[in-house]
Amino acid sequence: MDRNDIHELSKKILALHEEERRRISRDLHDETGQLSVSLGAALNIIEKDIEKKNLDKALLVIKDAKSILAETTKRIKTLVLDLRPAELDIVGLAAVLRELFSHYTKSYPLDINFKENTANIIIKRQIAITLYRIIQEALNNIVKHAKAKHVKIDLLIEKDEIRITIEDDGIGFDVESVLNDTSLERLGMRGMKERVDILNGNFSINSQPKKGCKVVAIFPMEEE
């Protein structure tokens, strides 16, 4: 890799990081800002009702406030999962992925079929994080764009390789046009490939309109 290649790769990595920061900032504002305002308004109402000794009304508002707080907690947990699950180094990739899939199936009309054979194998941290990010980005694309009902995800170790395969039955798309799209909206799709390239893996996307999508990433198997 010459100096120009290194410079271009650094620019892409910085662009990915900056887009992730923008997304996190946007999600924090959109997902929790309104809920925080609602919770503050509810507390003001409770305070006034207690001052007026309207305790029954205050109790009703407290119940509403508890629901708002529960929803805020749920959305913050989602944002934490987006950043990086703290349990990844403790329970392993497969267990963390099952938690991620549980979140998606509870939040969206989506069926996820997950198969893996990584028990008792500690995957190298950088590869585990990259696999997690690829799956996360793929699922985000599926719920935002694909209109899929079923997703099949395989995390398999075969010989000296670890392979992730993500298949959905969504509306599909033209791969070349998406990968050549320089808009920020499509940065995540290109970012998946760049993450794999950085770790000397192989990456492919196969899709056609109305025929779903298949994403495959393969890495040399390295244990931690």
Domain that holds residue 201: 92-220
Distance CA 192, CA 186 (A): 11
**Which stretches of the chain are DSSP H helices?**
3-27, 34-51, 55-83, 88-91, 93-107, 125-141, 175-180, 187-198
Provide the whole-model pTM.
0.66
Per-residue pLDDT of the chain (224 residues; tens, 9 = 90+): 566 665 566 666 666 666 666 666 666 666 667 777 777 888 888 888 888 888 888 888 888 888 878 777 777 766 666 665 656 777 888 988 998 899 899 888 999 999 999 877 888 888 888 899 899 889 988 998 888 999 999 999 988 899 999 999 999 988 888 777 766 556 677 778 888 888 889 999 999 888 899 999 999 986 55
Residues 79 and 153 in one domain: no
Distance CA 38, CA 44 (A): 10
Distance CA 59, CA 153 (A): 46
Tally of structural domains, the chain:
2
CATH number, domain with residue 159: 3.30.565.10
Which residues, listed in sequence order, are joined to residue 88 by a DSSP beta bridge? Answer: none
Distance CA 132, CA 217 (A): 11
Residues 125 and 143 in one domain: yes
